[in-house]
Amino acid sequence: MNSIRLRPLSHFFLALFLTFAAVGNTTAQQGETAPVATAPAASKDGVTPGSTAAAAPAAAAGATTGDAAAISAGAALFTQNCAQCHAINDVVVGPALKDVHKRRTISWLIPWIKNSSKVVASGDEYAVKIFNQYQKQQMPSFQLSDAEITSIISYVAAESDKPSAATTGGVTKENVGDADGAGGATAANASSSTMDILLIVLVVVLLVLVVTLVIIANIMKDVLRGRKDLDGRDVEQLEQRFDLAKIYKSPVVRGLALGLFALVVLYESVQGVMAIGLTQGYQPTQPIAFSHKLHAGENQINCSYCHTSVYKSKSANIPSANICMNCHAQIKTESPEIKKIYRAIERKQPIQWVRIHNLPDLAYFNHSQHTQVGGIECQTCHGPIQNMEVVYQYSALTMGWCINCHRETPLNTKGNGYYNNLVKLHDKANGAAPFTVSSNGGTECSKCHY
């Protein structure tokens, strides 16, 4: 008996909860599609790993659309050649490639990918339009075979057929930051509008469900009222009214409300943290597969061999292609990754490494102060770089992170005449307390903020 009465109520809350969950989900999705400003896109017009035809042994073999081997070969070729500028559903530097096989025929795509500027120059209407739409950025030419291009397109076609949320085309979301193309938002809009429709359908279905259940409950009540064998408690149960005050007092309802509130607060604070630029763990794909593990780890090349200014000046430089050439004029000259270095030098354009660590302009950080004067190891702040195939941001790089270390770290004063008197003064005033960076003023706002 009890269960008859409670059912519509519990279904009502279930419906309410699901609605909230669904609404929360769409807002989260919208949040995700917003561009993240920290990452300059991989390459606008710098070195663009073009004609690397490696990693495609299977490509030549099976090029028929839909063939699994061709798709996986296409995936490898796509990641290597295209992913820095293209994703399936998002505009990166170039357009989202979703359904490009439906927009364009393969006989248009092959010459386009081999040499897009030739197609534009020929006056092809579509080519000219898209070229202008993307601020006349030229897509590089690729020395790929017809079979390889076909396999890339098979891969794109296969990805296009997947539901949009699951496919980002192997490109980190952060890379989308540079989506300045006018057509940029369309892919995201399309997917969010299907979400909206789904949501409305869901809510309608739930409402219908609730109404049906209420009707069923009432019918059953009527049936029960007709029965003669009910005792006093049953009748009381049956005639109980929908009581708002009771619902309000119910521990279950209160628990649910509290839980919901906590979820909203959590969600908001996570969003807040994102807004102050917490990018810990950021690991973009670099234009050349340069490995610190191979160079700094296995081959034990000193950090400062490449980052030459890290002990001398404010910022640590990223090495120019010429430094790579000290070795790679001889080593691995046939590797497609190394050929990207040669091409950068030929074109007299720097390699467009994607910046990983980036403090906001309002903060002042000086490497030599920490590495040379403070004697802090790179790994304290950057983590086990010598084991990283691809560098990621190891520390939080927040103000709290800087200040905590300044509070805890004793100053490296040995052999530094500058500190002699200061240490004496400090010891006189504070006795045994260690002489930390903060006792020397390392937590004053003006030390880190201009």
Instruction: Compute the distance between CA of residue 76 and CA of residue 69 in angstroms, rounded to an integer.
Output: 11
Nearer to ligand HEC among residue 10 and residue 299 (C-beta): 299
Nearer to ligand HEC among residue 15 and residue 142 (C-beta): 142
Task: Tell me: does residue 157 bind ligand HEC (CB under 6 A).
Answer: no
Q: What 3-state class would DSSP assign to 241?
A: coil
Q: Which of residues 417-436 bind ligand HEC (CB under 6 A)?
A: none
The pattern of x and - marking residues 334 through 353 that bind ligand HEC according to CB under 6 A reads -x-xx--x-----------x
Q: Which of residues 379-408 bind ligand HEC (CB under 6 A)?
A: 380-382, 385-386, 391, 397-399, 401-403, 405-406
Residue in 118, 162, 347, 355 binding ligand HEC, rule: CB under 6 A: 355
Residue in 259, 350, 360, 434 binding ligand HEC, rule: CB under 6 A: 360
392 phi and psi, to 5 degrees?
-130, 165
Instruction: Compute the distance between CA of residue 292 and CA of residue 394 in angstroms, rounded to an integer.
Output: 14
Residue in 15, 39, 48, 174 binding ligand HEC, rule: CB under 6 A: 48
Task: Tell me: does residue 151 bind ligand HEC (CB under 6 A).
Answer: no
Determine if residue 15 is left, alpha or beta; phi over 0 gives left, psi from -120 to 50 gives alpha, anything else beta.
alpha
Task: Tell me: does residue 176 bind ligand HEC (CB under 6 A).
Answer: no
Instruction: Compute the distance between CA of residue 178 and CA of residue 60 in angstroms, rounded to an integer.
Output: 34
Instruction: Compute the distance between CA of residue 296 and CA of residue 304 in angstroms, rounded to an integer.
Output: 10
What is the token pair recorded at 239? Answer: 């005639």
Residue 266 CB, shortest distance to ligand HEC, in Å, is 19
Residue 107: name the closest of 124, 90, 84, 93 by CA.
Answer: 124
Residue 68 CB, shortest distance to ligand HEC, in Å, is 19
- Centroid of chain to Cα 278: 12
Residue in 318, 329, 425, 433 binding ligand HEC, rule: CB under 6 A: 318
Task: Tell me: does residue 130 bind ligand HEC (CB under 6 A).
Answer: yes
Residue 250 CB, shortest distance to ligand HEC, in Å, is 41
- Beta-carbon contacts of residue 144 (< 8 Å; ≥ 6 apart): 51, 53, 77, 81, 113, 114, 152
Task: Tell me: does residue 327 bind ligand HEC (CB under 6 A).
Answer: yes
Which residue is listed with tokens 């980190």?
172
Residue in 319, 368, 423, 435 binding ligand HEC, rule: CB under 6 A: 319
